[in-house]
Structure 1
Amino acid sequence: MAVFDRTIDTRHGSVRISDTMTGAAPLVMIHGSGSSRHVFARQLQSHLSRNWRLIAIDLPGHGESSDARDPQSTYTVTGLADCIGEVAARLGLHRFPVFGWSLGGHVAVEMAGSGKGISGLMLCGTPPVSNGLIGMLRGFSPSFDILLASKQSFTSRDVERFQSLCFGGTTNSSFQDAIARSDGRLRAIFSRTMLRGQGIDQRRTVEQADIPIALVNGSRDPFVKLSYLSGLNIQLLFEGKAHVMEGVGHAPFWENPESFNSLLERFLQTVVAHEAKTVPADMRDRNALPKKSVL
């Protein structure tokens, strides 16, 4: 399946995306800190692209997107959610599910709680936490390594360690390049504002949401407290449980794409079925691609 790349200019900066451009329904994919849209290559190049329009986005300060024009505003959970919402609007998306990984999952929850037309959430490596330090401590495993997520300047050793934490035993020079390229100001600003409780209460948002929500994590995730996820009371929790993929870490969609993609497709089918029951047909049809290519 062909994948088309383009750049969209937003008030936050220039944002690079990959878009399969075809499929019955869209899925927006948001990567984590220090990564890029290319981390979703094993979804973009899979059977999923035959049935779904897959859209992967480079966050500001990452990949081929520009650094933020106003870092203090954009590099927050609310700023990044606003940026992705602007990209979605430019693509003509009105109601769509989001697959968010790690930091990208927090951005996705913020979008869902801010009325940006989110029809479903798949969260991977993302504990939806309550505002402030106590909420963060409940959802994340305490360790010195987690401090890397808030460190502005990385040494070469930090880059290697962060790749190891995010991708387990995977050694991939492109992942290291993406980490080294990323704007470290985002790590510092994003972490600081999350600790201060900026944005919505993410735990309350997912527990009160009326859309399907999937929680998918690796059994070896070094950051997420899996026991915290099992204590969430999510109304429309996908298949009634928080999914744990055995033998993989923080990026199960990369480490075991076959199993992950199967889960993702079932989740997307669940979202479509839920939309058919709860959303008027004219609202669902507004995601149709324009006759003239946007490329």
Structure 2
Amino acid sequence: MSIDISPGQFVTSPDGTKIWAAACGNTSKPAVVFIHGFTCTADAFEQQYTDSTMLENLYIIRYDVRGCGRSDGPLNEEAYSSERQAEDFKAVIDAYGVAKPFVATWSLGGMVPPDVIAKYGPDSLAGHIMMASFPHRNMHKGIQHPVILGIIPGLITEDIAFFAKTLPDFVLSCVSPKFKLPYDVYAKWLGGAAPRAPVVRQSMLGRKQDDAAIMRIASHFPYLAIQGEDDTHIIPEKLEKWMKDHLSQSEFHLLPGVGHAPFYEAPEVTNKLILEFVRKYSDA
């Protein structure tokens, strides 16, 4: 059963899964689909979808990934495959009458664009904005930070006490140690991650991905990386090097004093970079 607790709508994916989505902004401007990370919700992007300049210049679509937030969470591993993820994305953009949007991802949300390209072709997306995110699953293993690697076992455990002990550490690891996360935001992020069964978290973190389709367009597909210097999920210098070695049309911006949530910790800088990137590649 899905629970609707805020404005938006439920979109039905081809396998029957209900996906919560919402849109705001200027429908005559380029569309950007925001995709959150592991066990989070689309509400994480509040500083983007309430910003007046963003709303004037973009059509912002956001949705709760299956297994998260208000969307359904099927209790079988197959439901979280690349094909299902791509179908969810397509169902959402179709519901809002959008074709070839930009996509802005946080963390594990970076796995969705390669799924979309693999299923719907190289012209299905206009570019990938990575906010402490990554180009595809297979390269992610080489840039993971030791801190998040130490946290993951407690996120996929079936031991409730271990999970309860780990979850606060996970939420706090999403920002720089120097950043004071407001309690209401901490509680909201904590609550967004808590309700799901272990099989959902296991399936999301454990799923495989074929990177062949996304790497075939690495010479001309646009990427923007907005990366915090204090990130304890991703090692910034390793991501930057990989991008330089493999992605011909990419930008990397390192934000000092920022952790794994640049869109929240440094919204002004993040929003400015997003708008510049979209403007650049919308006119191309």
What TM-score range do you get, normalising by the shorter chain? 0.7 to 0.9
Matched, 1:55 2:61: yes
The code of the aligned residue for 2:55 comes to S
The code of the aligned residue for 1:269 comes to R
Q: Deviations over 1:57-107 (max 9, x none)?
A: 011111111213x63222234422221122222322221100011111111
Q: Which of structure 1's runs of 4+ aligned residues deviate more than 6 A?
A: none
Give the equivalent residue in structure 1 for 2:23. 19
Give the equivalent residue in structure 1 for 2:191. 177
SS of alignment partner, residue 216 of structure 1: strand
Percent identity (aligned) = 20
- Whether the aligned pair in 2 keeps the contact of 1:61 and 1:183 (CA below 8 Å) is no
Give the equivalent residue in structure 2 for 1:138. 142
Segments of 5+ residues of structure 2 without an aligned counterpart are 1-5
Give the equivalent residue in structure 2 for 1:5. 8
The code of the aligned residue for 1:52 comes to L
Give the equivalent residue in structure 2 for 1:280. none
Distance change >3 Å, CA 257–CA 157, structure 1 → 2? same
- Whether the aligned pair in 1 keeps the contact of 2:8 and 2:23 (CA below 8 Å) is yes
Segments of 5+ residues of structure 1 without an aligned counterpart are 275-295
Give the equivalent residue in structure 2 for 1:277. none
Give the equivalent residue in structure 2 for 1:289. none
Q: Deviations over 1:172-222 (max 9, x none)?
A: 21111101134532321233223xxx33258735634x2311111111111
Distance change >3 Å, CA 92–CA 151, structure 1 → 2? farther
Instruction: Please point out which of 120, 126, 131 is paired with 1:119.
Output: 126
The code of the aligned residue for 1:48 comes to M
Q: TM-score, normalised by structure 2?
A: 0.82
C-alpha distance in structure 1 between counterparts of 2:151 and 2:101, whole Å? 34
C-alpha distance in structure 1 between counterparts of 2:281 and 2:129, whole Å? 10
Instruction: Please point out which of 174, 197, 205 is paired with 1:191.
Output: 205
Give the equivalent residue in structure 2 for 1:237. 250
Give the equivalent residue in structure 2 for 1:40. 45
Q: CA deviation at 1:49?
A: 0.8
Q: CA deviation at 1:165?
A: 1.2
Give the equivalent residue in structure 1 for 2:3. none
Distance change >3 Å, CA 130–CA 188, structure 1 → 2? closer
C-alpha distance in structure 2 between counterparts of 1:179 and 1:105, whole Å? 18
SS of alignment partner, residue 85 of structure 1: helix
Q: Deviations over 1:267-289 (max 9, x none)?
A: 11122112xxxxxxxxxxxxxxx
The code of the aligned residue for 2:88 comes to C
Pairing 1:1-295 to 2, within 5 Å after superposition: 5-10=8-13, 11-20=15-24, 22-23=26-27, 24-46=29-51, 47-68=53-74, 71-116=76-121, 117-129=124-136, 131=138, 135-142=139-146, 143-148=149-154, 150-151=156-157, 155-168=163-176, 169-170=180-181, 171=183, 172-194=186-208, 198-201=209-212, 204=215, 207-208=218-219, 210-231=220-241, 232=243, 233-238=246-251, 242-274=252-284
Distance change >3 Å, CA 227–CA 167, structure 1 → 2? closer
- Whether the aligned pair in 2 keeps the contact of 1:253 and 1:261 (CA below 8 Å) is yes
- Whether the aligned pair in 2 keeps the contact of 1:130 and 1:203 (CA below 8 Å) is no
Distance change >3 Å, CA 52–CA 129, structure 1 → 2? closer
C-alpha distance in structure 2 between counterparts of 1:7 and 1:250, whole Å? 29
SS of alignment partner, residue 141 of structure 2: helix
Q: TM-score, normalised by structure 1?
A: 0.80
Distance change >3 Å, CA 85–CA 255, structure 1 → 2? same
